[in-house]
Structure 1
Amino acid sequence: MMKILFPTDFSKAAETAFFYALQMTMKLEAELVLVHVYELPDLGRALHNTSKEVYEIMEMETLENFKKSVNELREKATQKGFSNIEFKHLMAEGQIVPRIVNIAKEEEADFIVMGTTGATGLKEVFLGSVASGVIDNAPCNVLSIPQEVSLQDTIKKVAYLTNYKDEEVVSFNEVYRFAKYFNATTCSIHFEKEVDDLSEKEMQAWKNKLIVDTTNLNSYVITGNNFEEAICQLYAEKNIDILAIQPRKRNFFTQVFKKSLSKQIVQRLKIPLFTLPAK
């Protein structure tokens, strides 16, 4: 059975991701694990003698708030029609990103589903947020869900961003299988400043290596000097619901998104991001 790890801080953005995780749990017939990681503040030398007692009080308050928040999520899940989905819950203290990554390893999670926040959601994914840290270090697939994603939004098309590299073949096949759980189609996207005959040959050679039926596989090549504008236009035109990426290095993301994103672009990029373990 697959296992989905859902890290949460019980914010509005996390709640949106929670309902997405519930949908995935149902579709994949998976096990859902909710985890809340918290960090205790450094009280410093001034409170050295009483720090243990203070920490114990803070941890008790955190535990009580955790239990209350979990019960509220259970009630909301029931209201949305997910009363039949059970999930276990964990609470852990420590640095947020390392603890989430370690718990994912301990639980042998297949997916991590987590939220991103507000108008800067996608930008934060790439530029240093908790989601970015998890993406960089996760041992499994990560789905980052913008707060604006609606529970009613169905997954009909998943796009895989490729450079036509051999190592991306396995990743694409995995994304393709994921899409099939939702009866969704899969397409590929490649970015070039200019398209030439070599690009077309590379695309066809790469498609021939895939172990899936490529008869109806749409492959889009986007061009121009502005990646953000080109990818946004493609989202709008092709009704893409999820963007899937196989990151190699952290600077791959910062290079692609090195320019600041305008408000319009950020709003148009509010779709889930599927990242496979970084290589």
Structure 2
Amino acid sequence: MKKILFPTDFSDVATNAFVHALHLADVVQGELVLLHTFQLPVVDGQFTPLNYYTIYESLQLAEFDVFKEQIPMLHAIAEKEKLGHIKITHRLMDGDLVTTIQTVIKEENINFVVMGTAGANGWETFFIGTNTGSVISSVSVPVLSVPLVAPYKKIKTIGFTTKFREKDKNALQLICTIAKKTNAEVKCLYVKTNQSDVKQATIQEWETQFANEPVQFTILPLEDVQGTILDFVSQKSIDVLAMVTYKRNFFVELFNPSLTRKFSDYSEIPILALQSDEK
């Protein structure tokens, strides 16, 4: 059974992402692991008065109380979505968010991470400095990032960008598997620039290999890669965009506000970042 890690701070952003996590768990026949992290203040124990330890214990108890109060609300959301059958377990951990996520991924054999992001204000900030951006560049499993302004809806079309590299095949196969379970179609885009080195024979090989999958390949001979992807998402009514994270700088360029302001709807779709060994 697949395991999906859902880090949450119980904010509106996280609660919205929780619904997406529930539906993903339903699609892949998986379970959710809820993670709430907190950080206690760091002080030098050699010079710490005894009453400081009382404060530590109070802070830990406060975090536990918040956690205990919020969990029933999330279960209520699951019931409302008619997904109360999804198994949900809980982790409350002290420590840095990225580090604790990495720890839980290893300990729980996590297959996906689902996180919320306040992406309405521009994806550039999201990928450069936010928690979700840090997670994407630091973990070894796919990360689904969900903007606050993206309420869950049935997925009909999944976009996938590729450079027709061999390592992209596993990612596309995963996307096709998810698409078949949701009766969705996959629209695969390759932006062919003057510097592109992909041969026609390679493209034909991919088309043959994925001939029985719900995928349609589109090759666009244009120089503006980022702008072409954004236009493709807008024109093809993409519900989720899947991308292999070869280089984080590409994400920074792709979601530059000077581009995304031209496509306001774009910041309203979830992005599934699929990891690659190539950086």
**Partner residue of 2:157?**
157
Aligned partner of 1:14 in structure 2 is: 14
Cα distance, 1:10 vs. partner? Answer: 0.7
Q: Which residue of 1 aligns with 2:203?
A: 204
Secondary structure in 1 matching 2:35: strand
Is 2:238 aligned against 1:237? no
Whole-Å separation in 1 of the counterparts to 2:119 and 2:36: 20
1:44-193 equivalences under 5 Å are: 48-49=48-49, 50-120=51-121, 122-151=123-152, 153-193=153-193
SS at structure 1 position matched to 2:238: coil
Distance 1:68 1:47 in 2: 35
Aligned residues: 276
Identity of aligned residues (%): 28
For residues 230 and 56 of structure 1, what CA distance do their matches in structure 2 show? 53
Q: Is the 8 A contact 1:189 1:222 kept in 2?
A: no
**TM-score, normalised via structure 2 length:** 0.87
Q: Distance in 2 between matches of 1:40 and 1:264?
A: 42
SS of 1:26's equivalent? helix
Q: Cα gap change, 1:95/1:266 in structure 2, threshold over 3 Å: closer, same or farther?
A: farther
Retained in 2: the 8 A contact 1:135–1:278?
no
TM-superposed deviation, 1:102: 1.6
Alignment partner for residue 246 of structure 1, among 235, 244, 247?
244
Please list the CA deviations of residues 61-93 of structure 1 after superposition, one character each: whole Å capped at 9, or x if unmatched: 000011101111112222332233231111111
For the aligned residue pairs, the C-alpha RMSD in angstroms reads 2.8
The 1:264–1:46 alpha-carbon spacing in structure 2 relative to 1, beyond 3 Å, is farther
Separation of aligned partners in 1, 2:193 and 2:266: 22
Check whether the contact 1:244–1:275 (CA below 8 A) recurs between aligned residues: yes
Kindly provide the CA deviation profile for residues 196-243 of structure 1, in whole angstroms up to 9, marking residues without a partner as x. Answer: 9x767266245246355268623242634362x432322221111111
Aligned mates of 1:78, 1:61 — CA distance in 2: 27
**Alpha-carbon spacing, 1:11–1:98, altered in 2? closer, same or farther (3 Å):** same
- Does structure 1 conserve the Cα–Cα contact (< 8 Å) formed by 2:111 and 2:142? yes
Give the letter aligned to residue 236 of structure 1: S
Contact preservation (8 Å) 1:110, 1:141: yes
Contact 2:37 2:95 in 1 (8 A): yes
